[in-house]
Amino acid sequence: MKTWFVTGAARGLGAAIVRAAVADGDRAVATGRDLRALEREFAGEERVLCLPLDVTDAGAAEAALDEARERCGTIDVVVNNAGYGLLGAVEEVSDAELRALFDTDLFGLLSVTRAAIPDLRAQGGGHVINVGSIAGAAPGPGIGAYAAAKAAVAAVSEALAAELAPFGIAVTVVEPGALRTDFLSTDSFRYSERVLDAYADGPVGALREGAKDGHGLQPGSPTKAVALLRALVAASDPPRRLPLGADALAAADEAVARRLQELEPWRGAAGSIGHEEEVPAD
């Protein structure tokens, strides 16, 4: 029986991960900012421990993991799911909005992960799953800030995977496309306070309108996504990055193909940069 430690577990993908874990006989530590919401969501679930956790508070992350270990023994799987989206052109997003986004989506993830690593290392194994986004691999107009945060999550996850592999700890960043969760609701998705007319008739304006109407209509199945996460944890050689959903896979393939195509005419010039030729002395 494994113990899953899941952040942002009161709703959406986090709640689905917790439910799938206990349905298959595992235990779960469900964490989130609103303890009452967690307790309502998992009322009657004997194998779910609900703990309050604001991931932007590094001390709270350490305290939650300490209590989880004390009450459950080991922590086998850490799922960094807490986070939110932000829509707005790069010019529209303020420094305050950008810093708040990174505090949750990146620095909060790092606080939880750093607090968990010593025990994972001591027990000789475990799995850290960081919930990124396909936006991090394939950014588009209107989600530059969010894509930047998720690209940082992907980069640090790949570095962590290499650092922790000698200790038997796997690290995977999963990159969902549009899953049919509440991600597009006002609880999980925010809009820049500044809205410029210059972007209203372009792709940013179209995305802003489409996002408001797309809640609940996303093509990806969260149930199937969670089943894939459980298969990921059971795998002997899990990948470091994994798109979730046909739309995410197509976007990842397109991004790689585009980069290779753009590189080709510049390959020779890019590869020729080396030491300057020495000029003979007179």
Residues assigned a catalytic role: 146
Distance, CA of 10 to CA of 16 (rounded, Å): 9
Sign of CA dihedral 158, 161, 164, 169: positive
From the DSSP assignment, how many helices (H) and strands (E) are in the chain?
11, 9
Q: Determine the length of the chain.
A: 282
Cα 166 to chain center, whole Å? 23
Tokens of residue 16, six digits: 């689905």
Task: Report the chain's terminal Cα–Cα distance, integer Å.
Answer: 77
Q: 69: exposed, middle or buried (C-beta count within 10 Å: 0-12, 13-18, 19+)?
A: middle
Cα 80 to chain center, whole Å? 7
27 forms bridges with which residues in the sheet? Answer: 3
Tokens of residue 3, six digits: 């113990």
> CA distances (Å), 249 to each of 229, 232, 246, in order?
16, 16, 5
Distance, CA of 282 to CA of 277 (rounded, Å): 15
Residue 202's nearest CA partner among 136, 142, 147 is 142
- Give 37-40's long-range contacts (Cβ < 8 A, gap of 24+): 37/10, 37/11, 38/9, 38/10
Assign 31 to helix, strand or coil: strand
